[in-house]
Amino acid sequence: MQQDEVLKHCISDTDYRITGKPFYKGKVRNVYTLDDHTLGIVVTDRISAFDHIMTEAIPFKGQILNQLSAFGFERVKKIIPVHVLDVPHPNITIAKKCDPIPIEVVVRGYLTGHAWRVYKSGKRELCGVPLPDGMKEHQKFKSPILTPATKATEGHDEDISEDEILRRGIVTPKMWETIKDTAFKLFKEGTDIAAKQGLILVDTKYEMGLFNGELTLIDEVHTSDSSRYFYSSGYEMRLSEGKQQRQLSKEFLREWLMEKGFQGLDGQIQPVLPDSFRWSIYQRYAELYETLTGEPFQPTIVENIDSDLERIFTDYL
């Protein structure tokens, strides 16, 4: 499909509701409670940065994320139970209804993005983790570090240290040790998967919850919304020459917004995403999907997402 045709196909929201059942609208996902144990998750084409949803949607982004997550969940379920039960539609996942743990578990293998911005400001600690002097942007850490963030219901997520997590009693010390150990195992698996496709998993976030008391991986895993990837080819040369890395992530959107003077701070005006830029975002998402899975992305035209929801969810009500 050509650019003009692709840009017509955006699912920015859904109007379908289930009478008497809770509904939650997140930054990207619309979440329906189907029964006491089951959720219907619709991955829309909304895109967010700096904890703000952009006014303009990205065509087929939801399909790419949903299917990329399904790919990722399938490959990590040997490490931790996952919430996915079924993916009956390109934009829809049927999932276990878990009690979410309000922490984003961020694992970083490289000094990039938020970590670099903190480092460049002169700080040598992130979330209680010491950062060595003399590092360059995009340099690899000796071993991955874990830099958690609180999962805010509104506004910005905030960095938090391990000590603060335990002091607040967000989770027990035993549970936190399990979460940490699992996160590093997941990062190792994601790193290995990426390496086979010529990519470097730079950093990522994991979200976890409890299903019948069992720690379970929820939300998404190793997607372009939750992760940052570099191309392996040319990484060392670019690092030594101080050049920016070729990457597949949302960082390019954050950089574009910062160039326009927007970082989600009070008083800043959120810029409009031009059609040409929306098209380039779509292409980047499709590129990551195809590079990581080794399969071409085949967009599915959705004529009426609300009709699809009613048809699919009826089986679970």
Q: What is the pLDDT of residues 188-212, one digit of tens each?
A: 999 999 999 999 999 999 999 999 9
Q: Domain coordinates of the chain in residue numbers?
A: 3-99+295-316, 101-248
- For residue 268, give the DSSP letter: P
Nearest Cα residue to 218 out of 312, 67, 93, 53: 93
61-76 vs 173-196: helix axis angle to the nearest 10?
110
* In the predicted structure, residue 155 carries a pLDDT above the cut 80: no
Q: Which two tokens stand for residue 194?
A: 């990426």
Q: How confident is the model at residue 153 (pLDDT cuts 50, 70, 90)?
A: low
When comparing pLDDT for 249 and 71, which is higher?
71
Q: Are 42 and 91 in contact (CB under 8 A)?
A: yes
Q: Which long-range contacts (CB under 8 A, 24 or more apart) does 81-89 make?
A: 81/211, 81/214, 81/215, 81/216, 81/217, 82/216, 82/217, 82/218, 82/221, 83/39, 83/209, 83/211, 83/216, 83/217, 83/218, 85/38, 88/312, 89/308, 89/312
Closest CA to 113 of 252, 287, 256: 252
How high is the pLDDT of residue 152? 64
Domain 101-248 adopts which CATH fold? Answer: D-amino Acid Aminotransferase; Chain A, domain 1 (3.30.470)
- Measured CA to CA in angstroms, residue 32 lies from 16, 43, 204, 269 at distances of 10, 11, 26, 32
The CATH class for the domain spanning 3-99+295-316 reads: alpha beta
Mean pLDDT rounded to a whole number for the chain: 94
Q: Is the pLDDT of residue 225 over 80?
A: yes
Give this prediction's pTM: 0.91
The C-alpha atoms of residue 207 and residue 31 are separated, in whole angstroms, by 16
101-248 shares the fold of 3-99+295-316: no
Residue 252's pLDDT is what? 85
Q: Which among 43, 51, 263 has a CA at the least distance from the CA of 149?
A: 51
pLDDT tier at 57 (50, 70, 90 boundaries)?
Answer: very high
Most confident of 89-93, 152-156, 223-227: 89-93
Let me know how long the chain is: 317
pLDDT of 8 reads: 84
Is the alpha carbon torsion for 136, 194, 205, 302 positive or negative? positive
Give the rounded percent of residues in the chain with a pLDDT score beyond 70: 98
The token duo for 248 is 């597949």
User: What gap in Å lies between CA 273 and CA 262, rounded to an integer?
Assistant: 12
